């Protein structure tokens, strides 16, 4: 039986321990896997200065499939997240997080069986942020048409393949009308191609409330990056925590499966870590690679082990990492040997030609610009500059001009909106900015455009 290579990134903290447990269990099931070692995390930083060296990225590209242990991500500084680096470098656009109640695992709600499909590249995770002034930090949120369409199609394709009945788009389009509005628009555009699957949408805050009260109403959920990150952890809590939460990151012909919990350096080397999350991710990886019988054998062994009451300490049991792995291996040894195996094709592209970047609409028209000014107190902006009329000044998202000044704390950056009665040119905008530059210290500008009569910017007050 020929073996298939899988890149193994052990990670740091408890990563090496749970990786060793998983290797033992995969070997016990005689899955045809050849592990290829690669480095990322704190050890890679010490060795190369980078959390995820380019050689690791190239190794995953060459092999096509990787299994990753947890890596430490510093908060508020330090190196960039290894997870984010890998996802972006390999364009792993779909983060898939199943949440299913496991027997023998204490959970607040029984019978949960749903899948989170999270867009994995865009949103605020682009890391495009900077200090505008001493008072104001800014982060840009990017939602794109092809990115939204691609993740929606993946969700529907996966739902169809797994005979799921419903896909729900989770969003905040009532507030973020343009970014989440585009995400939801692409969702329903793709949904038309899958009439056999029910399509619906829900606002993210209501979604969270519904999940903790009636999770059975959800089947497959597709979300932008930030909301997907938060809601997927909420769903993990419904089934027992991150210790039993698998995860996979899927791209076109590439996939990285991982334990989604942290590296837990406080218990590293103490034989206390729970390997279940990484093991469940390994089962998903084996299915992705087509080794269905081996995946089923390991899954049955894990369930049988949990049902028998053999659990790690975090799940209320008494077993250490090695002892739990040994218990799963014993269950495998009692199972019927696999005499053959199925190899299916790796996940291919779910992107279609229609999902590609679209051309610029012929009806696009430049209408004005937002001018970000650093100023103490509300700036006295000219009512007119060139062909543009002053429409609004806002501070921290609240309109402060025209009309009565709201009772709010002002910071030193204001957004000033200028609009023209008709279409204008880039030259008109630059001339207006040059005129304003004589009297005001400005940070940046944003052009305001109509797209075939549909405003590409929010006209709501205070937005």
d(CA 170, CA 177): 13
Q: Where are the alpha helices (DSSP H) in 66-178?
A: 82-89, 145-161
d(CA 214, CA 130): 40
**Quick check: helix, strand or coil at residue 142?**
strand
Radius of gyration of the chain (CA): 26
**Quick check: helix, strand or coil at residue 128?**
coil
Is residue 270 part of the annotated active site? The answer reads no
Residue 286 to residues 266, 280, 418, Cα–Cα distance (Å): 31, 10, 56
**Closest C-alpha among 308, 334, 310, 333 to residue 323:** 310
Question: 65-68 and 4-9 as β-strands: parallel, antiparallel, unpaired?
Answer: parallel
Distance of CA 425 to the CA centre of its chain: 37
Q: Which entry of 180, 201, 219, 229 is annotated as an active-site residue? A: 229
Q: Which H or E element spans position 327?
A: helix 321-333
Q: Tell me phi and psi for residue 120, to 5 degrees.
A: -115, 0
Is residue 389 part of the annotated active site? The answer reads no
Question: Which residues on neighbouring strands pair with residue 364, listed in sequence order?
Answer: none
Q: Which entry of 3, 27, 205, 426 is annotated as an active-site residue? A: 205
- Neighbouring CB atoms inside 10 A of 402's CB total 9
Is residue 172 part of the annotated active site? The answer reads yes
Q: Which entry of 12, 39, 68, 125 is annotated as an active-site residue? A: 125
Q: Who's near 404: CB < 8 A, 6+ residues apart?
A: none
d(CA 95, CA 92): 8
**Quick check: helix, strand or coil at residue 267?**
helix
> Quick one: CA torsion of 451, 455, 456, 461, rounded to 10 degrees?
170
Tokens coding 195: 């009439």
> Cis (ω within 30 of 0) for the bond into 405?
no
**Closest C-alpha among 242, 314, 205 to residue 97:** 242
Question: Which residues on neighbouring strands pair with residue 417, listed in sequence order?
Answer: 370, 392
Q: Tell me phi and psi for residue 66, to 5 degrees.
A: -140, 150
Distance of CA 386 to the CA centre of its chain: 44
Q: Which entry of 68, 149, 172, 367 is annotated as an active-site residue? A: 172
Tokens coding 290: 């087509």
- Neighbouring CB atoms inside 10 A of 163's CB total 8
d(CA 329, CA 29): 8
> Quick one: CA torsion of 180, 185, 187, 192, rounded to 10 degrees?
170
Is residue 252 part of the annotated active site? The answer reads no
Active site residues: 125, 172, 205, 229
């Amino acid at each position: 039986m020929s073996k298939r290579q899988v890149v193994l990134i052990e990670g740091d903290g408890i990563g090496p321990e749970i990786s060793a447990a998983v290797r033992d269990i995969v070997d016990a099931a005689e899955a045809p896997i050849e592990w290829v070692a690669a480095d990322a995390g704190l050890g890679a930083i010490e060795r190369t200065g980078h959390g995820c060296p380019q050689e690791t990225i190239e190794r995953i590209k060459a092999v096509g499939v990787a299994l990753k242990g947890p890596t430490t991500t510093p908060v508020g500084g330090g190196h960039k997240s290894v997870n984010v680096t890998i996802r972006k470098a390999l364009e792993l656009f779909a983060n898939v997080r199943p949440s299913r109640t496991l027997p023998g695992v204490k959970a607040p709600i029984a019978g949960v069986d749903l899948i989170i499909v999270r867009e994995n590249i865009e949103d605020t995770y682009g890391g495009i942020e900077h200090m505008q002034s001493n008072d104001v930090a800014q982060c840009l949120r990017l939602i794109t048409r092809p990115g939204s369409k691609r993740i929606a199609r993946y969700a529907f394709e996966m739902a169809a393949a797994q005979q799921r009945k419903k896909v729900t788009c989770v969003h905040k389009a009532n507030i973020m009308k343009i970014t989440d509005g585009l995400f939801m628009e692409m969702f329903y555009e793709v949904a038309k191609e899958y009439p056999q699957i029910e399509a619906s949408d829900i606002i993210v805050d209501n979604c969270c409330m519904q999940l903790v009260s009636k999770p059975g109403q959800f089947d497959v959920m597709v979300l932008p990056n930030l909301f997907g990150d938060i809601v997927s952890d909420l769903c993990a809590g419904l089934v027992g925590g991150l210790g039993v939460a698998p995860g996979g990151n899927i791209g076109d012909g590439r996939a990285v499966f991982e334990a989604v919990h942290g590296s837990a350096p406080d218990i590293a080397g103490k034989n206390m870590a729970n390997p279940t999350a990484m093991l469940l991710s390994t089962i998903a990886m084996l299915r992705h690679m087509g080794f269905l019988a081996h995946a089923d054998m390991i899954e049955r062994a894990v369930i049988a082990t949990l049902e028998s009451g053999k659990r790690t300490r975090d799940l209320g049991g008494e077993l250490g990492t090695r002892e739990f792995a040994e218990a799963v291996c014993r269950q495998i040894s009692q199972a019927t040997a696999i005499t053959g195996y199925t190899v299916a094709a790796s996940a291919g592209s779910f992107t279609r030609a229609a999902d590609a970047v679209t051309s610029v609409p012929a009806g696009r028209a430049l209408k004005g610009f937002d001018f970000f000014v650093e100023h103490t107190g509300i700036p006295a902006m000219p009512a007119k500059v060139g062909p543009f009329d002053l429409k609004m000044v806002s501070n921290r998202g609240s309109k402060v001009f025209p009309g009565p000044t709201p009772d709010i704390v002002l910071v030193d950056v204001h957004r000033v909106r200028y609009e023209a009665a008709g279409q204008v040119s880039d030259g008109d905008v630059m001339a207006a900015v040059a005129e304003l530059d004589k009297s005001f210290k400005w940070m940046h500008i944003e052009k305001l455009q109509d797209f075939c009569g549909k405003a590409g910017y929010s006209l709501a007050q205070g937005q």
